[in-house]
Amino acid sequence: MPSTFFGIETALRALGTSQTALDVISNNIANVNTPGYSRQTVNISETDPWPTPDAFSGGLSGQLGSGVTVTSIQRVHNQYLDTQYMNANSQQSYFTAMQNTLNPVQSAFNEPSDNGLNSMISSFFNDFQQLSLDPQSQSAREVIRNQGAALASQFNSLAQSLSSVSPQVDQQITADVKQVNQITSQIAVLNKQIRQVIASGQQPNDLKDQRNQLLNQLSGLVNVQVVPDTNGAGQQTGALNVFVSGYAVVQGSSSYNLPTANSMANGQSVLSDGINSIPVTGGQIGGLMQAKQLSQTYLTNLNSLASSLIQSVNAQHRTGYGLDGINNRNFFAGADAASISLDSSITASVDAIAAAAAPANGSQPVLGNGENALAIADLAQTTQSSLSNQTFSGYYSGLVGQVGADIQNASTSATNQQQVIQQITNLQQSTSGVNLDEELTNMLSFERSYQAAAKVMTTMDSMLNTLINQMS
């Protein structure tokens, strides 16, 4: 039969259980504003009953309950929501990085504007139109030289702005990859600690919260996939394996660094160490790599525009004659947007501007006519095969429109993903967040249980005191 102290032991278990529950509630309340904290709950169950065979229970069969115990302290969270959050966070960071990187590019184009490249191209050809009306005008020639120099300078400035994106992005990517490698190293350490705690039969709730915070930070930098680690028997160990586009960055308690060098492979931006090529399709690093690729495309298109303008104007200019009677001279020097400038002959003298058309066979050139200046002016409306059969202004407008569309798409996508993140966060809070009203209700409940158990223990003590002292 149960000992005389059986009731005290039962009450003691009730006191301990209530105390543990109150400790958990206290911890929840203390961490109500702690980022990444997941609410914890106590799982309570009956302890094993004491058998009471008929011989010892006056003919009553059954078992006598021995009290209550805390079986575990559980971290409340939803793994599905955690995964959804990481995916949305990765995409939001991707588009935000794209937008922030491309915004200065759009500012450099400065369109629409009276000082933008499109306006300068139009003014350049319009000035040749004016020169054709008075080919011997020195002032008109000065205007063309100045406008040509300004146009070349604007090309140079845009090329410089676009060229500066790549080294700036490379520097930021290097810093971000180093941060990724630090985070994955910390996750591997936590994996080891979590496995050890689980193996000891306990629940590493706080360690899991810390790991989850690190995974959220990681998803803001790269696209991640998280897979539970298993042992040889197929049982989950509590560790998490982390991958970036199939490349393992964390496996159990081991971490593997991402390379910092980025390049293009099969039309896709990748991180590469010469052996592994790892596509990055999300996070800040992915957005930076995509912005870098787009800026290089913009520069290629700008170079195509500058090259076509140089070749077309020069080809027509060489057929004409300057006021000095000399022909076969270029108006522009250089080959692309970064190198375009005025030809040295134009810089030296405005008389070298070939406004006069080539004479008929055997004739002397009429230096005062403006037919060649008019032919150059007409190039503004001529479609260029090198520019997909578009005019200079039309091609440039398409380039500016593409820049604006890319930024607008990034901005809209970033805003949409931020709304998704907010919705997921709200769902996480409703599941894992601490509700003070709920915690206070639970606190009162366990407080009353504690008080009742203490009263039982006091009563049992009084009964034992009577038994011991009155039977002497």
Q: What is the pLDDT of residues 297-345, one digit of tens each?
A: 999 999 999 999 999 999 999 999 999 889 999 999 999 999 999 999 9
Among 296, 335, 304, which residue's Cα sits nearest to residue 163? 296
Cβ burial of 447 (10 Å; 0-12, 13-18, 19+) is: middle
- Under 8 Å between Cβ of 147 and 97: no
Tell me the pTM.
0.87
Strands (DSSP E) contained in 32-122 are 40-46, 50-51, 63-64, 68-75
- Under 8 Å between Cβ of 202 and 70: no
- Under 8 Å between Cβ of 130 and 434: no
Rg (CA), the chain: 39
Q: What is the pLDDT of residues 171-205, one digit of tens each?
A: 999 999 999 999 999 999 999 999 999 988 889 99
Helix/strand/coil for 255: strand
Q: What is the pLDDT of residues 82-125, one digit of tens each?
A: 999 999 999 999 999 999 999 999 989 988 887 889 999 999 99
Residue with tokens 């080809």: 315
Contacts of 459 (CB under 8 A, 6+ apart): none
Q: How many CB atoms lie within 10 A of CB 359?
A: 14
Mean pLDDT, range 125-132, rounded to an integer: 95
- Give the confidence band of 362 by pLDDT, cuts at 50, 70, 90: low
